[in-house]
Amino acid sequence: MAVCPYCGTGCKLNLLVEGGKVVGAEPLNGVTNEGELCLKGYFGYDFINDTKILTPRLRNPMLRRSRDAAFEAVSWDEAIRYAATKLGEIKAKYGPDSIMTTGSSRGTGNETNYVMQKFTRAVLGTNNVDNCARVCHGPSVAGLQVTLGNGAMSNSIPEIEHTKCVLVFGYNVADSHPVIAKRIIRAKERGAKIIVCDPRKIETARLADLWLPLNNGSNMALVNAFANVLINEGLYNKEYVANHTEGFDEYKKIVEKYTPEYVEAITGLPAADIREAMRIYAAAPSATILWGMGVTQWGQGVDVVKGLSGLALLTGNLGRPNVGVGPVRGQNNVQGSCDMGVLPTEFPGYQKVTDPEIRAKFAKAWGVDSLPAEIGCRLTDVPHLAETGKLKAMYVMGEDPAQTEPDLTQVRKGFEAMEFVIVQDIFMTKTAMFADLILPATSWGEHEGVFSAADRSFQRFTKAVDAKGDVKHDWEIISLLATAMGYPMHYDNTRQIWDELRELCPIFYGATYEKMEGLGAVPWPCRDLDSPGSKYLYEGNVFQRPGGKGLLFATEWRPPQDQLTEEFPLILCTVREVGHYSCRSMTGNCAALQTLADEPGYVTINPKDAKALGIRDQELVWVSSRRGKVITRASVTDRTNKGAVYMTYQWWIGACNELTIHAVDPIAKTPEYKYAAVRVEPIADQ
Ligand code: SF4
């Protein structure tokens, strides 16, 4: 029994095995997928078999003793000894905060992430541990923790089809979470109204009752205008606001000027449509807001998340079934990485590293005198810290920042400046090319554990085949390294790890392996052994904030940070595509999926812009920004709004992150992937 490794929907499936190879996948009746899979679920399994379509599986530890030398295969003993010595030397010379680690939000599992953050804190002595939520839903966690007290989806995935209004904001659900898109279709079939806010005519916009194609970079202005309509037209739930929220007067004052007419120029939307959207949303007996990277990958992502939660608070759409706020997590276990404390601010179970009592609890359990109190650095801090000599070593597990972070020139300089880089992965990624030591791990399908779906549901997954080659489970590798560094760490299996972390995390305590196996999924909080977990949060409208009330928050709209000029007149926005996943190391090695598109990828452009630039469909073009230049293929489509172009981020040749800007949200430090000023030019003489 497996859980799909590709998105936070958490679809359950069976891997079909013949002669020790995975030969197929069939859907199971999981809580979130109920017998459905998308094409990644059906055809995304054969990377396990080492197809070598894009890159070969890593099969041995590999070391290069100097940056000029070639990688040589070494034994595990030598690899671990070398890593322990180097990390020990760097820690002794520059201090614990000169080292950073990452968890992995792909197919490794919660137990591995728990072990990685434990190693970072108890052995290295730093809170410098982070995961890819930093570049995706970090603003959702930071924003919702402030306004509601909990950074996750408030309600469960199955509830989506029973809501009476779905407000889809900055979220290409059909490409990102196809099985959730089906839930939205079923909600519509049951009579729900669908409102979509997105500059592009995404698939979901085609079935929407109202599509608001707002200007790129105007989210905060639109959300403030939504609040303005709810208040000025008396559409908000006054009793709910009086009893369950705080901050209304200040909130009202800020959104006062954001009338639909005032924001017409910023958003490009007719005032009447903005009003209509909120009349639909407020009139629905139950309403759900779902959002994705179109909300979070901005310099003002945290503010917009807070603003969206304000709409739910104003209308009382929280604390009951079939309503709520849904930051729908992208990678299959990015919710789990955060749950497990792979964050510079929190221990597992969202317990703050700055709380002395919490630190003392973990220190006692882990058998160390003390644990670091300083908040650690973020993934997006790495290039700057490395270049300025503050970060000397990095242990990257199951992430590929040299492909997925913004402004890749800067990222490469950061890796080159570090003294020691370990990459632990299943494939030779772009980041692995900067490694001094490569540690090969088992893949999804070759190990077991627990994933957290986007709706907080813990689900067990098991192994289908034995791993080939000299590879080890991620948590075994980390344990060997910890032991070699003088901190004996040993686990026999993932259950031991899970039971250790349950004991330390009150909100996960009741989620045993047996319960997950019996119920299929256990959504946290699950504090007691006899509780089935919590399908929705904030029951009784009690928010996890001091005083128990939700916070209404608004702030002024800020324009995006990159500047459009005559030289760079178009907006580049990075997006997802349905057939590929993350840095493509997995889906690029799947025979069926890699046929959907190939290098050098593509840039979608509106027909009017294409005509003005003399660009034909499928023609090779240069895309340039102030930071770089890549070759790609033009895809001319009227689904793309005029003035903007869109690229997916997995291509190695047409890598859009050569172009993106390292401008980050001041709180979440999430990059503004959705807005870089670029120029697109045809390549002459093809
Ligand atoms: Fe389900 Fe997502 Fe996997 Fe598709 S990619 S099968 S929607 S978990």
pLDDT tens per residue, range 112-136 = 999 999 999 999 999 999 999 999 9
Question: Cα 74 to the chain's mean position, in Å?
Answer: 34
**Farthest CA pair distance, the chain:** 70
Distance CA 100, CA 422 (A): 10
334 has pLDDT over 80: yes
Q: Among 614, 381, 337, which residue's Cα sits nearest to residue 474?
A: 337
Specify which residues 680 forms β-bridges with.
Answer: 623
583 — phi, psi (to 5°)? Answer: -80, 5
Specify which residues 624 forms β-bridges with.
Answer: 629, 679
646 — phi, psi (to 5°)? Answer: -135, 135
- Burial tier of 104 (Cβ tally within 10 Å: 0-12, 13-18, 19+): buried
Closest-CA residue, ligand 1 atom 4, reads 38
Distance CA 503, CA 510 (A): 9
Measured CA distances, 45 to 263, 295, 379 (Å): 47, 31, 29
Residue 16 CB coordination number (10 Å): 13
Token digits of residue 26: 């069939």
Each domain of the chain, given as residue ranges in start order, spans 2-49, 62-131+333-523, 138-328, 570-682
Q: How large is the average pLDDT for residues 50-69?
A: 95
Testing ligand 1's pocket by substitution, the residue of 1, 9, 42, 584 carrying the most ligand atoms inside 8 A of its CB is 9
138-328 to CATH, choices 3.90.550.10, 3.40.50.300, 3.40.50.1820, 3.40.228.10: 3.40.228.10
196 — phi, psi (to 5°)? Answer: -125, 125
| Omega before residue 5 within 30° of 0, cis | no
512 has pLDDT over 90: yes
The reply to whether ligand 1 has any atom less than 6 angstroms from the CB of 84 is: no
The reply to whether ligand 1 has any atom less than 6 angstroms from the CB of 179 is: yes
Q: Give per-residue burial for 200-212: e unless 16+ CB within 10 Å, then b.
A: bbbbbbeebebbb
160 has pLDDT over 90: yes
Testing ligand 1's pocket by substitution, the residue of 1, 11, 180, 581 carrying the most ligand atoms inside 8 A of its CB is 11
Residue 78 CB coordination number (10 Å): 14
Is 570-682 the same fold as 138-328? no
Centroid of ligand 1 to alpha carbon of 400 (angstroms): 21
Centroid of ligand 1 to alpha carbon of 227 (angstroms): 34
DSSP state of 472: B
Note the pLDDT tens digit of each residue in 554-580: 999 999 999 999 999 999 999 988 888
Q: How large is the average pLDDT for residues 364-383?
A: 97
DSSP state of 38: -
Token digits of residue 551: 């916070």
The reply to whether ligand 1 has any atom less than 6 angstroms from the CB of 37 is: yes
Q: Which atom of ligand 1 is nearest to the CA of 581?
A: 5
* CATH number for the segment(s) 2-49: 2.20.25.90
Note the pLDDT tens digit of each residue in 133-150: 999 999 999 999 999 999
Distance CA 56, CA 213 (A): 42
pLDDT of residue 686: 46
* CATH number for the segment(s) 570-682: 2.40.40.20
Element (H, E) at 630: strand 629-636
pLDDT of residue 102: 98
Amino acid letter for position 634: A
Per DSSP, the residues of 426-448 read SB--TGGGG-SEEEEBPPTTS--
Centroid of ligand 1 to alpha carbon of 6 (angstroms): 6
Mean pLDDT of the chain: 96
pLDDT of residue 330: 86
Distance CA 577, CA 377 (A): 30
Testing ligand 1's pocket by substitution, the residue of 13, 173, 177 carrying the most ligand atoms inside 8 A of its CB is 177
pTM above 0.80, yes or no: yes
The reply to whether ligand 1 has any atom less than 6 angstroms from the CB of 380 is: no
Q: How large is the average pLDDT for residues 534-547?
A: 96
Specify which residues 625 forms β-bridges with.
Answer: 678
Centroid of ligand 1 to alpha carbon of 33 (angstroms): 8
Q: Among 16, 8, 9, which residue's Cα sits nearest to residue 42?
A: 16
The reply to whether ligand 1 has any atom less than 6 angstroms from the CB of 41 is: yes
Start-end of H helices in 351-509: 356-366, 382-387, 401-404, 408-417, 474-484, 494-504
State percent of the chain over pLDDT 70: 100
Q: Which atom of ligand 1 is nearest to the CA of 332?
A: 8
The reply to whether ligand 1 has any atom less than 6 angstroms from the CB of 516 is: no
Helix (H, G, I), strand (E, B) or coil at 514: helix
Residue listed under structure tokens 């870089």 = 676
Centroid of ligand 1 to alpha carbon of 41 (angstroms): 5
Closest-CA residue, ligand 1 atom 2, reads 7
685 has pLDDT over 90: no
Pairing verdict, β 210-212 and 193-197: parallel
The reply to whether ligand 1 has any atom less than 6 angstroms from the CB of 4 is: yes
Q: Which atom of ligand 1 is nearest to the CA of 39?
A: 4
The reply to whether ligand 1 has any atom less than 6 angstroms from the CB of 473 is: no
Q: Which atom of ligand 1 is nearest to the CA of 178?
A: 7
Centroid of ligand 1 to alpha carbon of 475 (angstroms): 25
Testing ligand 1's pocket by substitution, the residue of 3, 26, 37 carrying the most ligand atoms inside 8 A of its CB is 37
Q: Check if the beta carbon of residue 139 is closer than 8 Å to that of residue 667.
A: yes
Q: Domain 62-131+333-523: which CATH class?
A: alpha beta
Note the pLDDT tens digit of each residue in 194-218: 999 999 999 999 999 999 999 999 9
Distance CA 2, CA 447 (A): 10
Centroid of ligand 1 to alpha carbon of 583 (angstroms): 16
Q: Among 207, 196, 213, which residue's Cα sits nearest to residue 642?
A: 213
pLDDT of residue 107: 80
Centroid of ligand 1 to alpha carbon of 568 (angstroms): 37
510-519 long-range CB contacts below 8 Å, 24 or more apart?
A: 511/458, 513/450, 513/460, 516/450, 516/458, 516/459, 516/460, 517/460, 519/31
Note the pLDDT tens digit of each residue in 421-436: 999 999 999 999 999 9
Specify which residues 326 forms β-bridges with.
Answer: 290
